[in-house]
Amino acid sequence: MTRIDDLPVRDELRGKSPYGAPQLDVPVRLNTNENPYPLPEALVERIAERVRDAARNLNRYPDRDAVELRTRLAEYLTKTTGHEVGLAHVWAANGSNEVIQQLLQTFGGPGRTAIGFEPSYSMHTLIARGTGTGWISGPRNDDFTIDVAAAERAIAEHRPDVVFVTTPNNPTGNAVPRESVIALYEAAQAAKPSIVVVDEAYAEFSHGDSLLPLLAGRPHLVVSRTMSKAFGAAGLRLGYLAADPAVVDAVQLVRLPYHLSAVTQATALAALEHTDTLLGYVEQLKSERDRLVVELRALGYDVTESDANFVQFGRFDDAHAAWRRILDRGVLVRDNGVPGWLRVTAGTPEENDAFLDAARELKKEQN
């Protein structure tokens, strides 16, 4: 049998593991920050209609520049953040993972480096590796906030080409204050200047405002977003960014031609027609997220402040054993490898009750 190591794979991929959140068939799945609400039936009908129309033209390549979709995404951003962006500021791809990959192909790559402040979204590291970009692990405080002075020092020392700031951060849940992002941007410009990617995958769930308005006068800033969480469309694979039009032009140099299928574009356009309903679900999830924080604390857990659709809770001597015990009760949460902590996605009220029951039992066992 041939194994990976028998193949002439690139040295930096040897012995490494792919992204692999378990996809287990259990009653309550709260492990990948998905939206628990299926799309409303009226939207499902609208998707079917739009996809039927698109199917009539599938003999042709799709709109390579996704003009209608980018225009609608720009309108959505303008409406929800108060910062005006247009077609020229917005780019879309298959999930924000592909957006990030395109950014690293454009601004990172062999001989270049990217920095993130960990623990944070593990795919930043993996996509850096996949694109041959060197990875620098920047520091965080014990409470998972970014130590701005230490981060500024790391940026000055390593002079990275790309700086990732995830806010709200995954897996910890906390948002990065606006002033901290401004300070990191300035440090990055003084050091290189580099591209600063603010990953706002969870922005719609935040108590605070989007950082999109920071784009004004900051041509090296990129804000990345996704329809996987707030729009309840993880299966769609649609991510997007907003930035200076020059960044959008630069990314064209690496994007594959016709990367966004006509079916994807049609489905995303249908979903954007139902923004108000979908954002209604976000409000429900925010209050469920806040309930999880309160109830977990009442049970005696430590909980990190959350602005996302998930909550980090602990502490455990053995987080993986605790993960198992919760799974034994039919609830799948996430062990992100942060020592002492686990992460639970806010689900429906019933799913959250099932999780809280399991968490209560676990606490009894531990006492």
Closer residue to ligand PMP in complex, CB, 32/80: 32
Closer residue to ligand PMP in complex, CB, 81/224: 224
Q: How far is CA 132 from the centre of its chain?
A: 21
Q: How far is CA 201 from the centre of its chain?
A: 4
82 burial (CB, 10 Å; 0-12 / 13-18 / 19+) is exposed
Q: How far is the CB of 92 from ligand PMP (least distance, A)?
A: 11
Closer residue to ligand PMP in complex, CB, 62/116: 116
| CA–CA–CA angle 253, 258, 261 (5° rounding) | 140
Which residue is nearest to ligand PMP, using beta carbons?
95
Q: How far is the CB of 206 from ligand PMP (least distance, A)?
A: 13
Q: How far is the CB of 256 from ligand PMP (least distance, A)?
A: 16
Classify residue 364 as left (phi > 0), alpha (psi -120 to 50) or beta: alpha
Q: How far is the CB of 149 from ligand PMP (least distance, A)?
A: 24
Q: How far is the CB of 344 from ligand PMP (least distance, A)?
A: 14
Closer residue to ligand PMP in complex, CB, 200/288: 200
Q: How far is the CB of 108 from ligand PMP (least distance, A)?
A: 16
Instruction: Give CA–CA dist 198/223, Å, rounded.
Output: 5
Q: How far is the CB of 91 from ligand PMP (least distance, A)?
A: 13
143 burial (CB, 10 Å; 0-12 / 13-18 / 19+) is exposed
179 burial (CB, 10 Å; 0-12 / 13-18 / 19+) is exposed
Q: How far apart, in Å, are the Cα atoms of 274 and each of 39, 107, 254, 269, 270?
A: 10, 35, 32, 9, 7
The residue ranges that bind ligand PMP (CB under 6 A) are 33, 95-97, 121, 166, 170, 199, 201, 226, 228, 234, 239
Closer residue to ligand PMP in complex, CB, 151/198: 198
Closer residue to ligand PMP in complex, CB, 304/325: 304
Phi, psi of 189 (to 5 degrees): -70, -35
Instruction: Give CA–CA dist 118/85, Å, rounded.
Output: 31
For tokens 């002492």, what's the residue? 340
Q: Which residues pair with 310 in a beta bridge?
A: 345
| CA–CA–CA angle 87, 101, 232 (5° rounding) | 65
Closer residue to ligand PMP in complex, CB, 134/239: 239
Classify residue 173 as left (phi > 0), alpha (psi -120 to 50) or beta: left
Structure tokens at 46: 């609208």
Q: How far is the CB of 166 from ligand PMP (least distance, A)?
A: 5
Q: How far is the CB of 101 from ligand PMP (least distance, A)?
A: 10
123 burial (CB, 10 Å; 0-12 / 13-18 / 19+) is middle
Q: How far is the CB of 331 from ligand PMP (least distance, A)?
A: 19
Closer residue to ligand PMP in complex, CB, 235/349: 235
Closer residue to ligand PMP in complex, CB, 191/241: 241
Instruction: Give CA–CA dist 9/7, Å, rounded.
Output: 6
For tokens 């490494």, what's the residue? 16
Closer residue to ligand PMP in complex, CB, 122/189: 122
